[in-house]
Structure 1
Amino acid sequence: MFKRIDHIAFTVKDRAKSIHFYEEYFGFKKYFEHDVPFPAVEKIVYLKLGDTVLEMMHLTTGSGSADQGFHFCLESDNFDEDYARLVNAGIPVDTEPHLVEAREPREEGWRRVVFVGPDGELIEFRG
């Protein structure tokens, strides 16, 4: 079953400015950054405040709108069971399960999947 929200994600146009903004004014700290295989996204940066994580997707120049890519992510304590339950319920899959790079040691071997909610919202889960 799901345990907690793992992160909230949104796109940014100026990575350095956004990192500074959330660190300076809200107390978040950058703890992980990586390149991604998506042509419209240059980097993904993770900021943490306690157990709360923001995932900022830095758009490449001229790509998309600022609300592109918004989603929330849940952490699962039984990935296979939760995946099967949602698929069996007929919830559409946007992105099939695949391994993800660990942001922290506890995430080694984790997978992610993305489903589509009733209004087109993206619901990711990891575990």
Structure 2
Amino acid sequence: MIKKVEHVAIMVKDMDEAIAYYSEMFGFKLRDRGQSPTKDMAFIYHENQPGFEIELIQDLVPLGDYSDKGIVNHLAFTVDDIEKAMAYYGEKGIQFTTETPNTGVGGSKTLFFYGPSRELLQFVQPAKR
């Protein structure tokens, strides 16, 4: 039976750039990093949700084990105030796919943007209940 979300894997072009981006932009910390003959992998986590990790994978050979599986559709982060998040991260250089947040399912507010390897990322402000 499923207990929780364990991690999401994201294909990256440059491992050092990806680790730096998630660390500096969002406060993730590196838990572990290792290589096999075909790939470089790193696991990062956030102190506010240490039971969930992002696995970053860089194929070291063309069309390695994972590169034909896709990058991931998107990874979503919860925020308290999407307009404040948009202003804060906009000042850090993030360019959002729309100028204003979208209305999501149940009245949530959503906003998409891209990470350094063109992975689709999203902020979600849950609807007030």
Q: TM-score, normalised by structure 1?
A: 0.46
**Which structure's relative contact order is higher, taking Cα pairs within 8 Å and 6+ residues apart?**
1
Structure with greater strand share of residues: 1
